[in-house]
Amino acid sequence: MHLVFELPRDRCPICDGSPVTPAYQISAFGAQVGYSLCEACGFIFQNPRLTADSVRSAYVADDYWNTAYHEYFKGDRLRMANSRRRIRFMEQAVGAKTKGKLLDIGSATGIFAAAARDSGYSVRCIEPSDEIAKIGRDAYGLDFTVSTWEDAEVEPGSYDAVTLWGTDSHFLDPLPAFRKIAAALRPGGVFAMNYQDFDHPIRKIFPDLKTGWNVMFNLTGRSIDKIMQLCGLEIVAARMEWPLVSMGAVLRAVRRPSFPLAERIVLPVPSVSYRAIVAVKTAGRHTD
């Protein structure tokens, strides 16, 4: 397929127009896809960026949805347990005593949204794949809007919480997307997400972490702080993620043979370069 790119940027889209330098390149669909680094805030972004039409075409050509979600429900038990852990983290960070309306962006089949609903939230899901959203509707009876976040219609100040799990790098234009998240929250509302810290030393051992063609940008601790500041969001909690995984999954990750009992043994494993954060919308701050 033929990829089409936007015009390249010579300034950081986050950090007040700071100059950027080349970071790395990857090969995708017979083309070279380049990324740039802002030395000021550490933000890494696809430059030049694929057009929205090219991204949509690449998902179809790559058969991403069938590949990423093949036999997806086999891991539902652990995903649900991990979702409950994220809810506890979010609520403990802000001392939440009431639930309210929660918007989950990039919901996939809705595991986290189902856990949030069971915990007492009124939940709406945003998911760009109609096929995946249908699975979530049928399996969990959830309210899905099939749309990218950029195109979704959301009333400002209408949500008590917005969550973003595993969708930290797929917005086409990150700062307006995060500002839209902040705008969706009421004053004092809660935003929770996870991201892979591209500054983490583990990338010296695993340099290909988070470098796929559909990774539009990579976040660092410095750049996430800058984004939160620009969006009127104050980080109140941050931690390394410790997801529950089966021993079988661990063995496969290190390329060792698994065995039936290993699939039943569950243990927390540190995702050393992945961080979860909880932020609160500061009353009176503008987000546009």
pLDDT of residue 287: 45
247: tokens are: 């021993």
pTM confidence score: 0.91
274: tokens are: 């992945």
Peptide bond into 128 cis (omega under 30): no
Q: What is the largest CA-CA distance in the chain?
A: 56
**Domains in the chain and their CATH numbers?**
71-281 (3.40.50.150)
- Calpha distance 139→218 (Å, rounded): 32
53: tokens are: 């039409």
pLDDT of residue 288: 46
SS (H, E, C) the chain: CCCCECCCCCECCCCCCCEEEEEEEEEECCEEEEEEEECCCCCEEECCCECHHHHHHHHHHHCHHHHHCCCHHHHHHHHHHHHHHHHHHHHHHHCCCCCCEEEEECCCCCHHHHHHHHCCCEEEEEECCHHHHHHHHHHHCCCEEECCCCCCCCCCCCEEEEEECCCCCCCCCHHHHHHHHHHHEEEEEEEEEEEECCCCHHHHCCCCCCCCCCCCEECCHHHHHHHHHHCCEEEEEEEEECCEEEHHHHHHHCCCCCCHHHHCCEEECCEEEEEEEEEEECCCCCCC
**If you compute the radius of gyration of the chain from its CA atoms, what whole number of angstroms results?**
19
pLDDT of residue 284: 52
C-beta of residue 172 within 8 angstroms of C-beta of residue 216: yes
pLDDT of residue 207: 87
Q: What is the pLDDT along the chain (288 residues), one digit of tens a residue?
A: 789 999 999 999 998 788 999 999 999 999 999 999 999 999 999 999 999 999 888 887 777 666 656 555 566 788 899 999 999 999 999 987 668 999 999 999 999 999 999 999 999 999 998 888 998 899 999 999 999 999 999 999 999 999 999 999 999 999 999 999 999 999 999 999 999 999 999 988 888 888 999 999 999 999 999 999 999 999 999 999 999 988 888 888 778 888 889 888 998 999 999 999 999 999 654 444
Residue 27 backbone dihedrals phi, psi, to 5 degrees: -100, 135
* Residues contacting 33, CB < 8 A, separation 6+: 3, 25, 26, 27, 46, 50, 213
